[in-house]
């Protein structure tokens, strides 16, 4: 299994720990699923704070992989 051997030799792009399943592959990098989800949560929170501090700042809604627009709750 070529894919499995590639995983064993790599580390998570966020926490740098050895990779374990389940995984997320984005932008040629591998992440633990919980690391990816935590990163998405932190980005959404940063965007929410940026909108609150500077309402004239235009921050685009992010699109999810299935093409829907991700609405960020305030």
Contacts of 29 (CB under 8 A, 6+ apart): 13
d(CA 36, CA 56): 29
Which span out of 19-28, 30-39, 47-56 was modeled with the highest average pLDDT? Answer: 30-39
Cα(38)–Cα(52) distance, integer angstroms? 21
Q: How confident is the model at residue 38 (pLDDT cuts 50, 70, 90)?
A: very high
> Distance (Å, rounded) from C-alpha 45 to C-alpha 73?
9
**Residue 27 near residue 35, CB atoms below 8 Å:** no
- pTM of the entire predicted model: 0.63
Tell me what pLDDT residue 47 has. 84
């Amino acid at each position: 299994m070529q894919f499995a051997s590639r995983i064993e030799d790599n580390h998570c792009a966020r926490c740098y720990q050895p990779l374990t399943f389940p995984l997320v592959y984005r932008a040629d990098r591998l992440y633990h699923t919980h690391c990816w989800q935590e990163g998405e949560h932190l980005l959404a929170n940063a965007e929410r704070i940026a909108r609150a501090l500077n309402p004239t700042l235009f921050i685009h809604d992010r699109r999810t992989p299935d093409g829907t627009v991700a609405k960020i709750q305030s």
